[in-house]
Amino acid sequence: MSGIADVAQRAGVSKATASRALSGSGYVSEKTRARVLAAARELGYVPSTSAVSLATGRTNNIGVIMPYTNRWFFAEVLEGIQAALLERGLDLTLYIAEPGTEGRRRIFEDFLARKRFDGLIAVGLEPEDHEIEKLTAIGRPIVGVVSAGPHAGVVALDEAGAARRATEHLIALDHRAIAFVGGGAGTHYVSVDLARLAGYRQAMAEAGLEQSIRHVPSPDSLPGGYEAAVDILADSRSRPTAIIASCDEVAAGAIIASRRLGIHVPAALSVVGIDDHEYAEMFSLTTMRQVPRDQGARAVEMITAQIADPDREPEKVTLQARMVMRSSTSAVDPARAASAADAARGR
């Protein structure tokens, strides 16, 4: 439990000099610096974080707030953040603010106000208006991942663009009866789904396929996709020739469902996802890749820059997903395509 006073004494200098030597700020002769460092090492000196914070106003800690941690995207972002913070010697305090819970209310009410952090990274938070107020009231830099804050930095994916390009891929393979599944039911991760859905609609519209637009909502999960796909695929007359899923988990669920129903992917049904989830490979899923881990790392870069210079203009970064071709999509069988399209139009 030795403090800086012990180190100073052992090195034969004052606390002030010891502090300068250890923190590397201010003039210290090479000789004394070496002595101080040696003394510190010998004593196993570790500065008291609370004392440092009190004196400097810096916590050397970053807050991370997200609605869940048990979904792929969030967990990956979190690990990306953690790894990047680790490199910089910064700690991470985590707030899991599940929408609509008493816990979330308390986090915004009490926990954030404690300002245990120099900056806050908000991942897919989608805050309500009154929550945004609280956020800005903290008076600390904020960087959003996914969600955009007014005066905050943001690192986001071009969600609509990703969905649009995925849909275009399907259209280029002569698919016409293309359903969008996922996004909508029981999910709180709304804006992303909306954007992806919009991208799908746009691509369909631009190809003159407004009539064939079909959105089948489902929870953004493997079971969700499974259930929804079972419904869609049951009726062979109205069955689409292709599915674009709101995310890879839904896509995987759809593929499992089609296997169970004996519908061959991609021969009888093309499926494309978004995310490049860890399951994508196993299902040979063609998908639009995003790398949430990198987004987390990027957010850390941005927040530390903001902390170092609070006056700097917050960055707004938009990433593009990259298509990863596997084998869940193929050109449609011309005969089926026509009849399926008719059926879709007829409903």
Partner DNA sequence: TTGAAAGCGTTACCAC
Partner DNA sequence: GTGGTAACGCTTTCAA
Which residues make up the interface to DNA (CB under 7 A)?
Answer: 1, 3-5, 12-17, 19-20, 22-23, 25-29, 31-33, 45-48, 51-52, 54-56
Rounded Cα distance, 147 and 128, in Å: 12
Nearer to DNA, 137 or 325 (CB): 137
Rounded Cα distance, 84 and 106, in Å: 28
Contact 141, 307 (CB under 8 A): yes
Residue matched to tokens 């987004």: 295
Question: Is residue 94 involved in binding a copy of itself (CB under 8 A)?
Answer: yes
Question: Is residue 96 involved in binding a copy of itself (CB under 8 A)?
Answer: yes
Question: Is residue 282 involved in binding a copy of itself (CB under 8 A)?
Answer: yes
Positive/negative CA dihedral, 94, 99, 101, 106: positive
Nearer to a copy of itself, 50 or 335 (CB): 50
Which of positions 193-232 make contact with a copy of itself (CB under 8 A)? 221-223, 226
Nearer to DNA, 57 or 262 (CB): 57
Beta-strand runs (E) in the chain: 61-66, 91-96, 119-123, 142-145, 153-157, 178-181, 214-216, 242-245, 270-275, 286-289, 316-319, 322-324
Stretch that binds a copy of itself, among 34-42, 208-216, 255-263, 306-314 (CB under 8 A): 255-263
Q: Out of DNA, a copy of itself, none, which partner does residue 94 contact, by CB within 5 to 8 A per kind?
A: a copy of itself
Taking the complex as a whole, the smallest distance from the CB of residue 134 to a copy of itself amounts, in Å, to 12
Stretch that binds a copy of itself, among 110-118, 127-135, 156-164, 177-185 (CB under 8 A): 110-118
Rounded Cα distance, 321 and 267, in Å: 26
Question: Is residue 131 involved in binding a copy of itself (CB under 8 A)?
Answer: no
Rounded Cα distance, 106 and 96, in Å: 11
Q: In the set 17, 18, 28, 59, which binds a copy of itself (CB under 8 A)?
A: 59
Question: Is residue 88 involved in binding a copy of itself (CB under 8 A)?
Answer: no
Q: What is the CB neighbour count within 10 angstroms for residue 278?
A: 10
The residue type found at 340 is A
Q: Out of DNA, a copy of itself, none, which partner does residue 26 contact, by CB within 5 to 8 A per kind?
A: DNA
Contact 302, 143 (CB under 8 A): yes
Closest CA to 164 of 209, 124, 223, 219: 209
User: Which residues lie near a copy of itself (CB under 8 A)?
Assistant: 46-51, 53-54, 59, 61, 68-70, 72, 75-76, 78-79, 82-83, 86, 89, 91-96, 103, 106-107, 110-111, 113-116, 221-223, 226, 253, 256, 259-260, 278-279, 281-282
